Amino acid sequence: MKNGRRIAILTGGGDCPGINAVIRAVTKKAILQYGMEIIGIEDGYHGVIHNRYRKLEYKDVSGILTLGGTILGTSKTANPYRYAIKKGNKLEFKDMSKTAVRNMKKLDIECLVCIGGDGTLGIAHDLFRDGIPVIGLPKTIDNDLRGTDITFGFDSAVWIATEGIDRIHTTAQSHHRVMIVEVMGHHAGWIALHSGIAGGGDIILIPEIPYKVDVIAKKVKERSRKGKRFSIVVVAEGAKPKGGDIVIQRIVKESSDPIRLGGIGFVLGEQIEKRTGVETRTVVMGHLQRGGTPTPFDRVLATRLGTRGVDMIENKEFGYMVGVRGEALVKVPLKDVAKGPRIVPLDDPLIDAARSVDTCFGD
């Protein structure tokens, strides 16, 4: 340590485009402006518990602005407060938070920078309460974090999903089919809403507006009558029918949030085909939405968030996340971030805009 200043950084939860851009922003500014030493913790909170980390030099983050994923690795299951340990076929959960706190204290860091979504930042808040100085940076393709208008990764995911919808259009038109594009988003409909509008989806289904299959079928038939012999349905993985339930793809027992969504597109496909007689196919965008290079918007956002985060460390503003409000960056108490997902409000102007251009929400 040149001047006795050291910080650590970790990435938790699902990867997404823009994480490396944030790591780069934090590391470069902390080194250049404050002469800090940066410790990169590996695989999210696993690294905190098992002391897996390495020093990040300037050269390590040079050239990673456009790189997808995270150079540090991540984990969607590691939670120091409920750490899953496999014993044969059995899974046990242990509170390892004391180990985590002890390890972080031993590292002699000024701050632990936690890059993640609600799960990762919820844990960051718990660590803060247990005496570790932390700050949070908002990452998730789902855009469902409280306290911020937008998270980095979202714009890239919307871009990828839109690209998928655009490409589906031509095959839908050529074969006169209903094409269903299932997108991610967890329990929030942000990706479906934005990519659905951007891609000109005829029907957009989001978790916040439970749908009726009959309404969807009516819309498809109406389009056929008007000479549009194809329809594009953009469905969020968390969408559900009125009075019905979400479709669960798998349960990840090790995870504090064990439900993995997926498959609604196929369920819906059968139902639409049966009711309309129009041949229907489903495409699941899945993890493609988390891959590849970040959009220019996400690179800029990541750079803004990361550099502001370093200023917060300098000002000793711990226990906060950097959030976006309009054009401004704001500090948001981590305790407010960890209060559950930010879903699409029913009065979101985008819903109204979409309805005005004849988009059906299945309600």
Sheet holding 328-333, edge to edge: 53-56, 37-41, 6-11, 111-116, 134-138, 320-325, 328-333
Restricted to residues 106-125, the positions that interact with ligand F6P (CB under 6 A) are: 117
Among 125, 177, 223, 290, binds ligand F6P (CB under 6 A): 290
Other C-beta atoms closer than 10 Å to the C-beta of 11 total 31
Residue 151 contacts ligand F6P per CB under 6 A:
no
CB of 290 to ligand F6P, least distance (A): 6
Residue 198, Ramachandran bin (φ over 0: left; ψ between -120 and 50: alpha; else beta): alpha
Restricted to residues 62-81, the positions that interact with ligand F6P (CB under 6 A) are: 76
Residue 184 contacts ligand F6P per CB under 6 A:
yes
Residue 223 contacts ligand F6P per CB under 6 A:
no
Among 14, 116, 306, 309, binds ligand F6P (CB under 6 A): 14
CB of 143 to ligand F6P, least distance (A): 10
DSSP type of residue 144: -
Residue 264 contacts ligand F6P per CB under 6 A:
no
Residue 260 contacts ligand F6P per CB under 6 A:
yes
Rg, Å, the chain Cα set:
22
CA distances 256 to 170, 251, 319, 351, Å, are: 41, 11, 22, 32
CB of 222 to ligand F6P, least distance (A): 31
Rounded to 5 degrees, φ, ψ at 83 are -90, 120
Which of these is catalytic: 43, 126, 142, 144? 142
The one-letter amino acid code at 148 reads T
- Residue 168 tokens read as 């589906």
Part in contact with ligand F6P (CB under 6 A); list of ranges 48-56, 140-148, 173-181, 225-233: 140-148
Q: Which residues contact 68 (CB under 8 A, 6 or more apart)?
A: 15, 17, 20, 290, 291, 292, 293, 294
Does the annotation mark 142 as catalytic? Answer: yes
Part in contact with ligand F6P (CB under 6 A); list of ranges 121-129, 134-142, 196-204, 277-285: 134-142
CB of 92 to ligand F6P, least distance (A): 21
Part in contact with ligand F6P (CB under 6 A); list of ranges 139-147, 212-220, 225-233, 318-326: 139-147
Among 6, 46, 139, 186, binds ligand F6P (CB under 6 A): 186
202 versus 237: smaller Cβ distance to ligand F6P = 237
Helix (H, G, I), strand (E, B) or coil at 359: coil
Q: Can you spell out the DSSP letters for 228-284?
A: ---EEEEEETT--BTT--PPEEEE-TTSSS-EEE--HHHHHHHHHHHHH---EEEEE
Rounded to 5 degrees, φ, ψ at 239 are -70, 150
Residue 185 contacts ligand F6P per CB under 6 A:
yes
Part in contact with ligand F6P (CB under 6 A); list of ranges 4-12, 19-27, 135-143, 322-330: 135-143
Q: Which residue is nearest to ligand F6P (CB)?
A: 184
Other C-beta atoms closer than 10 Å to the C-beta of 326 total 7
Give the active site residues: 142
Binding site for ligand F6P (CB under 6 A): 14, 76, 117, 140-142, 184-186, 237, 260-261, 290
